[in-house]
Structure 1
Amino acid sequence: MRKPADMFDREYEWSALTRFVSDEQPGATLGVVSGRRRQGKTFLLEAICQTAGGFYFGATEAADAESLRRISAALTTHVRPASPFHFHGWAEVIDTLLSLGRDRPVPVVIDEFPYLAKANPELPSIIQEALRPLRAQRTDSRARLVLCGSALSFMGRILSGSAPLRGRAGLELLVRPLDYRLAAEFWGITDPRLALQVNSIVGGTPAYRREFARGDVPAGPDDFDDWVVRTVMNPETPLFREPRYLLAEEPELRDTALYLSVLAAVADGNATRGGIANYLERKAPDIAHPINVLEDVGLLYRDADIFRDNRSTYRILEPLIRFYHAIMRPVWDQLERPGSAPRVWRASRHRYVNNVLGPHFEQTCREWALHHSDLDLFAELPAKVGHGVVHDPTTRKSHEIDVAVVGVAAGGKPPLLAIGEAKWNDVMGEGHIKRLRDIREIISRNGRYDTSRTRLLCFSGAGFNEKACAAAESDDEVILIDLPTLYM
């Protein structure tokens, strides 16, 4: 099946869907597609249905009876039977959907499935019964039933544990945001510094360029500040209130004020569980539930410390939400007044660099090491990349490592392939390299990792001085990575 010409990338997702919906094997099958909002899931599924002659139904938040009327009308339009459909229950609906695949493999998509299941919690069990082995309606059909949803916590549960649909799905597809390189290509930005700045605010969500920013892309590095003012912090644009809507649309977030405060704590640099609790003036056990819920809905991510067991930090996954909490939410009343954005942005520029851009640059460096670095760089494929704190028992000091690359343990100590430091605004020099060498020696004495092949990585958004360049030329264990290399 030919992918639509106006669909950017999504080669992997299109290929997975194509294989699933065109599978010639007999018997109806189930697929599950999920992903955060605004990633283009609906575009993908509507396109696959149009290409393969399938049926697409987009659910809305409505009472069960209204949803039955809507899908009755949609199926009547699609099938054009002698008399219109008037379904009285979902068992009839599912059997009719399966009948669409009686003659050939055909995609049958129910989008925003969580809305239907919220109104009728028995719906997953009804689908389970419809797909029961040896049932004629299933064996005589080659319908490829796809359930899609943006509520990540709900979509994760429908196939887990003792859920009715556990073990029934032949496809589990997660539609992720574009990574930082694809996002730069999608936005049409060739300057790597500008690309990272834009990515630190809007991330890789496709809808933010086309629908929300109406195609407004910074004309160049000198236009970045003006772009933020006119596009992100402008009350007239959809991006302005999008972070609030993202939270309101999550069905799991009932006590919105508490979840907002947790996100604000992380955006303010309180990345540990204890730090979040102190920020909220609560005990650590009291915030366990909101943290877990935010993880389930894909807004928070827990990064384990590479060097200390049972220690972790949290980061906000959606860049726009991090920007909102770090920059916009503290001065929301001012921003709502027309014409205030330039003044607010000038006052917030330093905070943006420290609380948004700097951490985003560090995470981008980790993504580069895990997904985009040359395989020859580490001599083997990295198993995990993270960050952590190295404690020196001799001096009783702790040293932060921005990038730590760990390989696969083969019967002994896991190899530490590289450690690195990331600086957005600093020109890095020989002192940064010496610091990494000293930390590598501490790690070696601690004895947890094999450091015999540990390389030293220096990531800089501002470049390197002559001594750092000379050190990299004379010692192949020192690697300098600048912004063009990250986007190469």
Structure 2
Amino acid sequence: MPLRFIGRHSQLNALQDFYASRTGHLATVRGRRRVGKSTLLLQSLEAGRSAYHQAAQMAPDANFQRFHDDMVEALSAQLTAGTASDIAQAKNWRSLLLALGQAATELQRLTVIIDEFPYLSRSDITLESVLQEALGRIESLGQPLKLVLCGSSISQMEALLQHSSPLYGRSDLNLVLHPLDYLESAEFAPNWTPEQQVHARTVFGGMPRYLNLLEDALSVGENYERLVLNPDGPLHEETTRLLGAELSEPRVYASVLQAISRGNTRAGEIISASGIHPSSLPKYLERLEELALVRRERSANATPAARHLRYGLADPFIASWFRYALPNLSALKIRGATSTWARLIAPTIDSDPHAAPGMFEHISRHWTTLHMDDFWTGEHGEVGRIMQGSGDPAGEIDVASRLGRGQQSSWLLGECKWTAQQQDGSALRQLQQNAGKLLNQERVQQYLLFSRAGFTTPFREQPPASTRLVDLAELYARP
């Protein structure tokens, strides 16, 4: 399957602005395990005025030689003989970078992309200092060279921006590439139904590297078996590799992630399930949040200072690995992955509130954010949910956003039903009942009902006032 990238226009525009600007020489792009970031970069560049290098884990001399050869191949034909010779004869990073600065002047501008830059900086601890000195000289000469450093290791790319880094303060653009949303993810398997897309989102999430491996001629389960559950599958060790690369204590962090994957959403529950000392948990949770592996959540009707938080796994792929693969590693090595989906995952994926039903709620909230202008054109709060202290899911509100502010504010509320039965007015009555209990009779401006199986004909044809009915087909319709 060819590499595909479905990028966000804001990030592409930011790169284009950096490329076109007369000032600025360094940009960083970081995105965990994100296949496609180089494609995003290359889309923003102009043919003949750019060069790309994919770094590898090699010795310093080999790394330099590979970069040197890529620059010679990409640029020699566009340059005068003298500048091309300077690049070809460069013996070290400094001389090569200065030659690239001269090439930029000759071409009127030049952008050089180094993908997986941490591979280079780890093998040569002097490289960042050399870059800093060379960029200073290039800047003083007014040479229009743009250097773009990108990498999948979040922690190592963030280190480039810290005070201790020689490159601190030199970067003019810093992009973080986040996972694709549910609509972008669906484009990697266009032949799947919306229901299959929800299942795929539940176990694969939105990382393009994973999505790019999918084959939509197969079922979601067959893909998960061959890619993740199969001990020889390309994603079977992905979680272990990720934690080992990003974290100093991967086993401890894995214990926290495993506890949350089992439905322990409060700090006390996580402490009990993981065995972490209470005083240490905030440190681990904070680092996992920085890596976008864990998210914290407040009830939509809570004040910013409210201390009652819940935690969840922000990466569906990581969650599915801890939920389905980790508990069965021994059996998978002995019996293989064939039919594992049918035996272990299919029976619960549609009933476990942290699996497809929870993903359906996340998708519904994202849809609401995209379509908020259909319901309200003024100021509104973030689209979240309203939770109660007891944690009873039946008594909570799946989709909620405060509309307006002060005494004149009202609410948009939604209920999500991931069941095989078509919904009627009972779902709306449940939502209204929960609103009465949790919101102290505050005014509700708009009700939304989301249903996997759709709605009964009478209810669909005559929905109550201020009520919007949304089925799977509408959720996956492009806005």
2:286 paired with 1:297 = no
Whole-angstrom distance in 2 between the partners of 1:159 and 1:416: 42
Equivalent in the alignment of 1:203: 205
User: Any conservation in 1 of the 2:3–2:36 contact (CA below 8 Å)?
Assistant: no
Equivalent in the alignment of 1:106: 110
Alignment deviations for residues 35-88 of structure 1 (CA, whole Å, 9 cap, x no partner): 12133112333565673431222233345455344434444555542662211x
Unpaired runs of at least 5, structure 2: 77-83
**Which of these residues, 456, 464, 483, is aligned with residue 472 of structure 2?**
483
For the residue of structure 1 that corresponds to 2:334, the secondary structure is coil
- How many percent identity over aligned positions? 27
Note the C-alpha offset of 1:463: 2.6
For residue 342 of structure 1, what is the amino acid of its counterpart? S
Equivalent in the alignment of 1:182: 184
Alignment deviations for residues 214-251 of structure 1 (CA, whole Å, 9 cap, x no partner): xx2145xxx44444444543344323333333334x3x
For residue 472 of structure 2, what is the amino acid of its counterpart? L
For the residue of structure 1 that corresponds to 2:112, the secondary structure is strand
2:266 paired with 1:268 = no
Equivalent in the alignment of 1:247: 243
**Which of these residues, 449, 463, 470, is aligned with residue 454 of structure 2?**
463
For the residue of structure 2 that corresponds to 1:384, the secondary structure is coil
Alignment of 1:201-240 (within 5 A): 201-210=203-212, 212-213=213-214, 216-218=215-217, 223-240=219-236
User: Any conservation in 2 of the 1:35–1:176 contact (CA below 8 Å)?
Assistant: yes
**Which of these residues, 427, 435, 441, is aligned with residue 436 of structure 2?**
441
Alignment deviations for residues 255-313 of structure 1 (CA, whole Å, 9 cap, x no partner): 22222222211211112222211111333322222222222222222223323322322
Equivalent in the alignment of 1:380: 378
Note the C-alpha offset of 1:131: 4.3
Equivalent in the alignment of 2:425: 430
Whole-angstrom distance in 2 between the partners of 1:379 and 1:391: 32
The 3 A distance-change label for structure 1 pair 185 and 382 is: farther
Whole-angstrom distance in 2 between the partners of 1:475 and 1:59: 59
Equivalent in the alignment of 1:43: 39
Whole-angstrom distance in 2 between the partners of 1:76 and 1:414: 65
User: Any conservation in 2 of the 1:29–1:143 contact (CA below 8 Å)?
Assistant: yes
Equivalent in the alignment of 1:86: 91
Note the C-alpha offset of 1:420: 1.8
User: Any conservation in 2 of the 1:55–1:107 contact (CA below 8 Å)?
Assistant: yes
Note the C-alpha offset of 1:338: 4.7
Whole-angstrom distance in 1 between the partners of 2:345 and 2:272: 24
For residue 402 of structure 1, what is the amino acid of its counterpart? D
For residue 85 of structure 1, what is the amino acid of its counterpart? A
Unpaired runs of at least 5, structure 1: none
Equivalent in the alignment of 2:81: none
The 3 A distance-change label for structure 1 pair 239 and 319 is: same
Whole-angstrom distance in 2 between the partners of 1:229 and 1:362: 25
Alignment deviations for residues 300-342 of structure 1 (CA, whole Å, 9 cap, x no partner): 2222332332232222233222111111110111112354531
For the residue of structure 1 that corresponds to 2:280, the secondary structure is helix
Whole-angstrom distance in 1 between the partners of 2:297 and 2:359: 14
The 3 A distance-change label for structure 1 pair 47 and 468 is: closer
Alignment of 1:50-449 (within 5 A): 51-77=47-73, 78-79=75-76, 80-81=84-85, 84-87=89-92, 90-103=93-106, 104-120=108-124, 123-124=127-128, 126-132=130-136, 137-159=139-161, 165=167, 167-189=169-191, 191-210=193-212, 212-213=213-214, 216-218=215-217, 223-248=219-244, 250=245, 252-308=246-302, 309-343=306-340, 345-353=342-350, 354=352, 355-371=354-370, 373=371, 375-380=373-378, 382-390=380-388, 399-407=395-403, 409=405, 412=406, 415-425=409-419, 427=421, 428-445=423-440
Report how many aligned residue pairs link the two structures.
Answer: 458
User: Any conservation in 1 of the 2:5–2:36 contact (CA below 8 Å)?
Assistant: no
Give RMSD over aligned pairs: 3.3
Whole-angstrom distance in 1 between the partners of 2:472 and 2:170: 45
What TM-score comes out, normalization by structure 1 length?
0.82
Note the C-alpha offset of 1:208: 2.7
